[in-house]
Amino acid sequence: MKTIFNADHKLHDAAFELIGGKMMPAFECPRRAEIVLEKVTEAKLGPVIAPTATGIAAAAKVHDAKFVAFLEKAWGLWSEEHGDSDALPMTWPARSLRQIEPDSIDGKLGFYSFDAGCGLTKTSFQAIAAGVETSLTGVDLILAGETSAFALSRPPGHHATADQMGGYCYLNNAAIAAQVLAEAGRRVAILDVDYHHGNGTQAIFYERGDIYFASIHGHPTQEYPYFLGYADETGAGAGEGANLNLPLYWGSAWDAYGAALDKACEGIVAFGADTVVVSLGLDTFEEDPISKFKLKSEDYLRMGERIRKLGLQTLFVFEGGYAVEALGINTANVLIGFES
Amino acid sequence: MKTIFNADHKLHDAAFELIGGKMMPAFECPRRAEIVLEKVTEAKLGPVIAPTATGIAAAAKVHDAKFVAFLEKAWGLWSEEHGDSDALPMTWPARSLRQIEPDSIDGKLGFYSFDAGCGLTKTSFQAIAAGVETSLTGVDLILAGETSAFALSRPPGHHATADQMGGYCYLNNAAIAAQVLAEAGRRVAILDVDYHHGNGTQAIFYERGDIYFASIHGHPTQEYPYFLGYADETGAGAGEGANLNLPLYWGSAWDAYGAALDKACEGIVAFGADTVVVSLGLDTFEEDPISKFKLKSEDYLRMGERIRKLGLQTLFVFEGGYAVEALGINTANVLIGFES
Ligand SMILES: [Zn+2]
Ligand SMILES: [Zn+2]
């Protein structure tokens, strides 16, 4: 399996995030991608290549063009008003307020965000674009006939909606990939194994019947993003039945997780998918600092094996996982399990 | 003029707020009320009394009962999960998410907030309740026939909506007062002279024709709360015509401000009000650290004189103002101008 790695990912390096009422060093840091690269290389899974896809025009297939343009210019507007600190939203258009894009950068940030943990730096947009190019290169490999590919994109993407950033995510690498694959005639299922519900991906495809979305994640009654990811969200309109949420409670280990993964895979088979995009988050790990599942390193081998059993062309797109030292091994284990 | 002061205000003392991408010491601090008390006392405007109203049952006249209950229990739920730090929201139910109250305290905080600058401490609710009692005592004085009264309530209230906190505001002291006065048969106008639009007060009464709201404030294209306070918001349904927004751009000084104040007063007269509730924020001052108007200390004398010219019973309710050392004098000047 080829790994696509874009060194520009490290241009996104936010200093802080707001969590538990405090500004903490950002959990979503460049070291994450570097250790995954290291362990995937050590595992000799296959060549590591640079992205060959160029440009992010495809992002506008699932995102509002205005939102993409905002991301590109946001830090410039921010720095004019606030100087060199990372851009973070501090207020948002809640239910008693108007749903309009204000002129002010603080207003714009609130308009295009759904959390305050997602900082933008001077060079973040270059990394975000590099993440999209990484993912699109994975699509090219799949369309060229490869059985699988691993897009080691960073920052992650699955929380990003059509027009909002949040949860460390800006542009939705997996959703963009799925959309391009679908436009190429593939019947695409997205399997989201990140600890957090992929609210952005779900929202983007919720009313569409041509792309299936299955997610296993911390129960939103307990866990971020709180406002989406419940089991009763099964799709709407043409998308009815094409959305499968399998929320699990804090403390869930492989027994419960594996059973949910079976269900998700059964859904993908029933949908008749020929291609799978895996939103590969590793924050289900027992030592993850912001998550509360109990998966062990060896469980990721089984996760990869189960996905392989689908027998479908598979594009892995990197998402979350914050137990940095084990993150490389856990990621490699999924891919090793898949190849075995 | 009697001043109502509740020493319990100091039980609300948030450590930090998120502003400009940084955690800053909270601008809305206990010293604000203390210096106002000091200068109002020095000015010998009249007796300073403790609140005689007890209980905040009246809050439910303009707020959702569930929201009030949330404020009371929020810090307890927060401390169970996050320990002793101030409670701050970090994510919110944006447009692609479900509008539901999650079980998790982080989810609840986002559901009941519209910004991340509004911390809750262990004893905040006692201070919030004291602020409401202070305001309600002012209502009692007006109903007993006093020409005017000054409710030195803290924390401020005018940003608080029926079911959301934000902008340092939790329960809307001025809106509660206006509602109780209206129920007692008064024809009430609210004049909001805080630098920031009183989005909470506007939203609470927006569809009602029996209470008039006029606000002079930093233009929302430039200034918090960004998503409300535009001139085209004139009320809806039965409230059509009973909402007057007079946004002014950064740099506005008394010439522009005084003209806007004349307009607001004309609106109040045309409405036929017999009682005025003034949301008295002093952050229009030229040295205010978070605001960009250019009013000088002597302008506040003129502000008070203009309000007095209305010839109506007037309840002043304290709101914002963060140039702490001048805040006492500026507040006293409004009241001195009114009495002159
Ligand atoms: Zn995650
Ligand atoms: Zn203010």
**What average pLDDT does range B181-187 have in this prediction?**
98
Single-letter amino acid, residue B148: S
Predicted confidence (pLDDT) per residue in B299-310, tens digit? 999 999 999 999
**In CATH, what number is assigned to the domain containing residue B272?**
3.40.800.20
Residue pointed to by tokens 């004019």: A80
Predicted confidence (pLDDT) per residue in B287-300, tens digit? 999 999 999 999 99
**What average pLDDT does range A129-136 have in this prediction?**
98
Measured in degrees and rounded to the nearest 5, phi and psi for residue A228 equal -160, 155
- Is residue A98 predicted with pLDDT exceeding 90? yes
CA of B321 to the centre of ligand 2 (A): 6
Question: How high is the pLDDT of residue B112?
Answer: 98
Question: How high is the pLDDT of residue B265?
Answer: 98
Confidence tier at B74 by pLDDT (50, 70, 90): very high
Q: Which residues of chain B neighbour A163 with C-beta distances below 8 Å? A: 96
Whole-number Å distance between alpha carbons of B278 and B330:
15
**What average pLDDT does range A110-137 have in this prediction?**
95
Question: How high is the pLDDT of residue A22?
Answer: 79
Number of domains chain A is built from: 1
CA of A321 to the centre of ligand 1 (A): 6
Mutate to test the interface with B, among A206, A226, A232, A250 (most CBs of B within 10 A): A226
Contact of B146 with B2, CB cutoff 8 Å: yes
Question: How high is the pLDDT of residue A164?
Answer: 98
More confident residue, A182 or B17: A182
Mutate to test the interface with A, among B24, B63, B82, B95 (most CBs of A within 10 A): B95
Whole-number Å distance between alpha carbons of B62 and B169:
14
Mean pLDDT over each residue of chain A, to the nearest integer: 96
- Is residue A72 predicted with pLDDT exceeding 90? yes
Subunit contact B117:A91, Cβ cutoff 8 A: yes
Question: How high is the pLDDT of residue B118?
Answer: 86
Subunit contact A225:B200, Cβ cutoff 8 A: no
Q: Are strands B48-49 and B243-248 parallel, antiparallel or unpaired?
A: unpaired
**What average pLDDT does range A83-90 have in this prediction?**
91
Q: What percent of chain A has pLDDT over 90?
A: 94
Q: Which residues contact B259 (CB under 8 A, 6 or more apart)?
A: none
Q: Are strands A16-19 and A22-25 parallel, antiparallel or unpaired?
A: antiparallel
Q: Which residues contact B184 (CB under 8 A, 6 or more apart)?
A: B139, B143
Question: How high is the pLDDT of residue B157?
Answer: 98
Confidence tier at B120 by pLDDT (50, 70, 90): very high
Q: Which residues of chain A neighbour B115 with C-beta distances below 8 Å? A: 90-92
Structural domain for B48, as ranges:
2-339
**What average pLDDT does range A36-61 have in this prediction?**
97
The residues with which A243 forms a beta bridge, in sequence order, are A213
Helix, strand or coil, per DSSP, at residue B131 = helix
**What average pLDDT does range A198-204 have in this prediction?**
98
**What average pLDDT does range A47-53 have in this prediction?**
96
Whole-number Å distance between alpha carbons of B321 and A196:
41
Confidence tier at A53 by pLDDT (50, 70, 90): confident
CA of B198 to the centre of ligand 2 (A): 8
A 251-270 near B (Cβ less than 8 A)? none
**What average pLDDT does range A194-215 have in this prediction?**
98
Question: How high is the pLDDT of residue A74?
Answer: 97
ipTM (interface pTM) = 0.94
Interface check A179 vs B, CB under 8 A: no
Question: How high is the pLDDT of residue B328?
Answer: 98
- Is residue B270 predicted with pLDDT exceeding 90? yes
Q: What percent of chain A has pLDDT over 70?
A: 100
Predicted confidence (pLDDT) per residue in B201-247, tens digit? 999 999 999 999 999 999 999 999 999 999 999 999 999 999 999 99
**What average pLDDT does range A203-213 have in this prediction?**
98
CA of A116 to the centre of ligand 2 (A): 22
pTM (predicted TM-score): 0.96
SS (H, E, C) chain A: CEEEECHHHHHCCCCEEEECCEEEECCCCCHHHHHHHHHHHHCCCCCEECCCCCCCHHHHHCCCHHHHHHHHHHHHHHHHHHCCCCECCCECCCCCCCCCCCCCHHHHHHHCECECCCCECCCHHHHHHHHHHHHHHHHHHHHCCCCEEEEECCCCCCCCCCCCEECCECCCHHHHHHHHHHHCCCCEEEEECCCCCCHHHHHHHCCCCCEEEEEEEECCCCCCCCCCCCCCCCCCHHHCCCEEEEEECCCCCHHHHHHHHHHHHHHHHHHCCCEEEEEECCCCECCCCCCCCCECCCHHHHHHHHHHCCCCEEEEEECCCCCHHHHHHHHHHHHHHHHC
Mean pLDDT over each residue of chain B, to the nearest integer: 96
Active-site residue, B159 included: yes
Length of chain B as a residue count? 340
Ligand nearest to the CA of A167: 1
Whole-number Å distance between alpha carbons of B201 and B143:
21
Contact of B86 with B15, CB cutoff 8 Å: yes
Question: How high is the pLDDT of residue A17?
Answer: 83
**What average pLDDT does range A4-24 have in this prediction?**
89
